[in-house]
Amino acid sequence: MSLINVTTPEKNVRELEFSVERAVFDKACNAAYKKNVAKMTIPGFRKGKAPRSIIEKMYGEGCFYEEALNAIIPDAYEAALKESELKDIVSRPEFDVKTIDENGVVLLAKVYVKPEVVVKDYKGIAVTSAPVVVTDEAIDAEIEKLRQRNSREIEVTDRAAQMGDSVVFDFDGSVDGVAFDGGKSENYNLKLGSGQFIPGFEEQIVGKSIGEAFDVNVTFPEDYHAAELAGKAAVFACKLHEIKEIELPELDDEFVKDVSEFDTLDAYKADLKAKMEEQQKKVADNAIQEQLIANIVENMECDIPQPMIENEVENQVRDFDMRLRQQGMDLKTYFKYTGLDLDGMREQFAPMAERQVKARLALEGVVAAEGIVASDEEIAAEYDELAKAYGMDVEEVKKYIDDDSVAKDICVRKAIDLVKEAAVITEAAEEASDAAETVEA
């Protein structure tokens, strides 16, 4: 097995021409014969006893070629690839048989390689940073969530139902005096104000007392999911059985002691503010990073082979499947409930995969332009972090991730840091913090 030639038939494509000796190919053909002869019926011979030469005369000289080629190609290709010293291959090889004769087999393997990248104007990029502002209102909102999580329901017997109460009641609905499917239930638990029922329904329970029977008159929305009820006026005969209200814990030092490691409300608020500021800072830093990468991608020159994007799509599908399995589900079940299929999922992932491929190539372009390298100490430290993250020994991690991959990841992060340090960052006008960007206590 030897490499004959490496050519570049088109941009980002390499074609390896390599050979396999006739003796090796004949051995593979003979192995294919032995594997399949028992399945073949040849007139004049007992099943499984026909000579290879007779079978080849009947079915053709090449009847065992395909299986023999499948057997020899992997090792032959790996040997040729090693001899070629090609790097940064980004696709699976596409094989073609050039010749089969008395000298052996000559094969062609077409592969795509990582494209050349030219990055421009990656220093001095102007970006905007969101201000880190945590207001008292945002802190109070987080504390209110904590109180809600630690609330309790208490029965109410001395007043009528109010918005915010939870009620237990029976209902029996009808349209023009005729009952309909799903319109009846007993001892149903409903939080008033949740919007769980038809608009106007919950409001008509407000003011009703325990044991009271009453009618609720509503009209189904025009876009109601059950077409036979859409836009129809309905009457629900109801009877109220229970009223419960939410009792929130008193907001004081004793409450804080019960739900946290702090002794005072002020100390808890100070810690919560620090965590919220840290979270906002991470959000702002990520936003800056996204702006910088988008700018570099926009200004880079690169022809990206389609297999790179396809490979990234497959990686994302595998990652998604793995996350589903960790939650006790799989892709088959997910497709059943969502109506998607594998091709549909790939189509959804394609834009994100393309962005990630472009971002990685752009940053690798910065690495090359700046001559960024990873030191042995940095690589060792990265292995330590990976080992902690996966709960494995460093040597075990190295079985799955090689030094080159680790070094490339380190260099890409250093490239991001370099671009960020050289950026012109302007802080946006101060605004109240968004509660959605806060962290749970």
Q: Where among 225, 247, 269 does a domain terminate? A: 247
Residues 271 and 242 placed together within one structural domain of the fold: no
In a domain, 80, yes or no: yes
- Average pLDDT over the chain reads 92
The answer for 379, left when phi > 0, alpha when psi is -120 to 50, beta otherwise, is alpha
Mean pLDDT of 288-306: 94
CA end-to-end distance (rounded Å), the chain:
64
Domain enclosing residue 366, as ranges = 257-437
Please say if the pLDDT value at position 434 is more than 70: no
| The two three-digit tokens of residue 391, written as one number | 């709960």
73-76's contacts with Cβ under 8 Å and 24+ in sequence apart are: 73/107, 75/1, 76/1, 76/18, 76/20, 76/107
| Alpha-carbon torsion, ordered 255, 258, 262, 263, to 10 deg | 60
Residues 6+ apart with CB under 8 A from 269: 139, 143
Q: Are 20 and 72 in contact (CB under 8 A)?
A: yes
3-state DSSP call for residue 160? coil
pLDDT in the model for residue 44 = 83
Q: 151-183: b or e for each residue (b if 16 or more CB lie within 10 Å)?
A: eeeeebeeeebeeebbbebbbebeeeeeebeeb
3-state DSSP call for residue 36? helix
Question: What HEC string does 207-232 produce?
Answer: CCCCCCEEEEEEECCCCCCCCCCCCC
| Amino acid (one-letter) located at 176 | D
Residues 6+ apart with CB under 8 A from 439: 275, 276, 278, 279
- pLDDT tens for residues 94-103? 999 999 999 9
In a domain, 370, yes or no: yes
Residues 236 and 359 placed together within one structural domain of the fold: no
For the chain, the farthest-separated pair of C-alpha atoms sits apart, in whole angstroms, at 102
Task: Report CA 207 to chain centroid distance, whole Å.
Answer: 48
In a domain, 147, yes or no: no
Give residue 225's pLDDT band: very low, low, confident or very high (50, 70, 90).
Answer: confident
Give residue 391's pLDDT band: very low, low, confident or very high (50, 70, 90).
Answer: confident
Burial class for 214, CB neighbours closer than 10 Å (0-12, 13-18, 19+) = middle
Residues 59 and 190 placed together within one structural domain of the fold: no
The domain total for the chain is 3
Residues 335 and 209 placed together within one structural domain of the fold: no
Please say if the pLDDT value at position 432 is more than 70: no
CA 372/CA 414 separation, integer angstroms? 8
Q: Where among 217, 247, 277 does a domain terminate? A: 247
pLDDT in the model for residue 430 = 59
Any idea what the CATH number is for the domain that residue 45 is in?
A: 3.30.70.1050
Residues 285 and 217 placed together within one structural domain of the fold: no
Burial class for 392, CB neighbours closer than 10 Å (0-12, 13-18, 19+) = middle
| DSSP for residue 118 | B
pLDDT in the model for residue 227 = 87
Residues 6+ apart with CB under 8 A from 213: 237, 238, 239
Task: For strands 424-427 and 126-129, give the pairing.
Answer: parallel
Any idea what the CATH number is for the domain that residue 194 is in?
A: 3.10.50.40
| DSSP for residue 132 | -
Query: Residue 246: enclosing H or E segment and its boundaries?
Result: strand 233-247
Q: 289-300: b or e for each residue (b if 16 or more CB lie within 10 Å)?
A: bebbbbbbbeeb
Question: What HEC string does 67-107 produce?
Answer: HHHHHHHHHHHHHHHHHHCCCCECCCCEEEEEEEECCEEEE
Any idea what the CATH number is for the domain that residue 263 is in?
A: 1.10.3120
3-state DSSP call for residue 189? strand
- pLDDT tens for residues 359-369? 999 999 999 99
Give the Å distances, CA to CA, from 394 to 255, 299, 379, 385, 410. 44, 39, 11, 9, 17
Residues 211 and 265 placed together within one structural domain of the fold: no
Residues 215 and 274 placed together within one structural domain of the fold: no
CA 289/CA 113 separation, integer angstroms? 28
Mean pLDDT of 212-237: 93
Residues 228 and 262 placed together within one structural domain of the fold: no
This prediction has a pTM of: 0.69
Residues 78 and 219 placed together within one structural domain of the fold: no
Give the Å distances, CA to CA, from 319 to 267, 312, 313, 399, 401. 41, 10, 10, 20, 17
Residues 38 and 160 placed together within one structural domain of the fold: no
Residues 243 and 360 placed together within one structural domain of the fold: no
Residues 6+ apart with CB under 8 A from 348: 340
| DSSP for residue 37 | G
Please say if the pLDDT value at position 428 is more than 90: no
pLDDT in the model for residue 437 = 43
In a domain, 132, yes or no: no
CA 110/CA 93 separation, integer angstroms? 5
- pLDDT tens for residues 328-370? 888 988 998 888 899 999 999 999 999 999 999 999 999 999 9
Q: Where among 247, 267, 288 does a domain terminate? A: 247
Burial class for 354, CB neighbours closer than 10 Å (0-12, 13-18, 19+) = middle
Residues 55 and 91 placed together within one structural domain of the fold: yes
